[in-house]
């Protein structure tokens, strides 16, 4: 059971006026500080101690809803170095890779850490996430994002897995073996297949995420030509999300939708 909103906690304020605008602000609460925006200001002390879901008023009388951010909301606001995975793709990857509590998962590259955070939460305290990234400046951003999520968000849950960050090139080899899952979000995943073949246990799942048709074609061809005895391709997917709005008798999809962002390629390691 989550407690009342506390000091030093990352929370989200949702503007309730004007109706339908719903702008969100993520803030780190600090006793004695103020949050200012275009419609007035609010003392952090007025937020500390309220129940999640309560409403506070700005100095100009505008209501703001106090909520803890979801993982998806946190990811959309967090600092980015590299392009991060969209929440819709992260959701699908967690299911298609069948990430379970206690799993040993390797991912590359860490990027800004969006997928790393989701994996750490899904593998729970008995699990382990090993994350390769070749650029130190991205690794630093990821570390800050991961620390903020698990350190400042009560909704993060208290049972994250063990994290091992590695600065290195996944194309040059993988040190680990007997992995349950491997997730590759790098531009040429076919260059890591030889290493994954040795690192993934029989029955383990490989998921690759690539944005373009040429990449998915090259990955599929390489699997077919060189790895037929080691992997079985289970499917190639893309996920589209279209929001709907309902206002009185007007019910319709929104004009904009997030459709193609990338292909999710899933294969299983065979016993060979």
Tell me the CA end-to-end span of the chain in Å, nearest whole number: 47
Among 74, 96, 111, 174, binds ligand SAM (CB under 6 A): 111
Query: Of 135, 88, 60, 117, nearest to 264 (Cα)?
Result: 88
Minimum Å gap between C-beta 147 and ligand SAM is 15
Kindly tell me which of 64 and 119 has the beta carbon lying closer to ligand SAM: 119
84 belongs to the binding site for ligand SAM (CB under 6 A): yes
Among 92, 103, 179, 186, binds ligand SAM (CB under 6 A): 186
Kindly tell me which of 11 and 186 has the beta carbon lying closer to ligand SAM: 186
Stretch that binds ligand SAM, among 57-65, 150-158, 164-172, 230-238 (CB under 6 A): 164-172
112 belongs to the binding site for ligand SAM (CB under 6 A): yes
Token pair in block for residue 266: 């899933």
218 belongs to the binding site for ligand SAM (CB under 6 A): no
Distances from the Cα of 2 to the Cα of 5, 11, 73, angstroms: 9, 13, 18
Query: Of 259, 151, 268, nearest to 207 (Cα)?
Result: 268
Helix axes 87-96, 114-123, angle to 10 degrees: 40
Per-residue x/- track, 252-271, ligand SAM (CB under 6 A): --------------------
Minimum Å gap between C-beta 250 and ligand SAM is 36
Kindly tell me which of 156 and 186 has the beta carbon lying closer to ligand SAM: 186
Minimum Å gap between C-beta 91 and ligand SAM is 12
109 belongs to the binding site for ligand SAM (CB under 6 A): yes
d(CA 191, CA 210): 13
Stretch that binds ligand SAM, among 15-23, 83-91, 149-157, 264-272 (CB under 6 A): 83-91
Kindly tell me which of 52 and 169 has the beta carbon lying closer to ligand SAM: 169
**3-state helix, strand and coil shares in percent for the chain, rounded to the nearest 5:** 30, 30, 40
Minimum Å gap between C-beta 192 and ligand SAM is 7
DSSP letters spanning 149-218: HHHH-GGG-S---EEEEEES-GGG-----SEEEEEE-SS-GGGGHHHHHHHEEEEEEEEEEE-SHHHHHH
Alpha helices (H) along 40-113: 44-47, 71-77, 87-96
149 belongs to the binding site for ligand SAM (CB under 6 A): no
Kindly tell me which of 46 and 77 has the beta carbon lying closer to ligand SAM: 77
Minimum Å gap between C-beta 85 and ligand SAM is 4
3-state secondary structure (DSSP) of residue 4 = coil
Rounded (5°) CA angle 141-145-148 = 135
Q: By the criterion CB under 6 A, which residues form the site for ligand SAM?
A: 82-85, 108-109, 111-115, 132-135, 138, 169-171, 185-186
């Amino acid at each position: 059971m989550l407690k009342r909103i506390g000091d030093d906690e990352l929370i989200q304020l949702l503007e309730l006026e004007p109706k339908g605008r719903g702008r969100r602000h993520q803030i780190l609460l600090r006793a004695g500080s103020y949050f200012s925006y275009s419609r007035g200001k609010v003392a952090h002390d007025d937020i500390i101690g309220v129940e999640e879901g309560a409403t506070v008023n700005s100095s100009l009388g505008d209501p703001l809803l106090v909520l803890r951010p979801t993982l998806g909301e946190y990811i959309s606001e967090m600092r980015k170095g590299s392009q991060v995975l969209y929440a819709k793709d992260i959701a699908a990857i967690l299911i298609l890779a069948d990430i379970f509590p206690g799993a040993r998962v390797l991912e590359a590259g860490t990027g800004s850490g969006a997928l790393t955070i989701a994996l750490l939460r899904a593998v729970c305290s008995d699990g382990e996430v090993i994350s390769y990234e070749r650029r130190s400046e991205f690794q630093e951003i990821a570390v800050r994002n991961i620390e903020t999520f698990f350190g400042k968000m009560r909704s993060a849950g208290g049972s994250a897995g063990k994290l091992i960050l590695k600065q290195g090139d996944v194309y040059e080899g993988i040190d680990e073996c007997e992995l349950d899952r491997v997730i590759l979000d790098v531009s040429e995943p076919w260059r890591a297949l030889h290493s994954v073949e040795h690192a993934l246990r029989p029955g383990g799942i490989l998921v690759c995420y690539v944005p373009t048709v040429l990449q998915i074609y090259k990955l599929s061809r390489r699997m077919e030509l060189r790895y037929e005895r080691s992997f079985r391709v289970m499917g190639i997917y893309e996920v589209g999300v279209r929001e709907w709005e309902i206002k009185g008798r007007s019910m319709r999809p929104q004009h904009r939708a997030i459709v193609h962002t990338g292909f999710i390629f899933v294969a299983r390691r065979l016993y060979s």
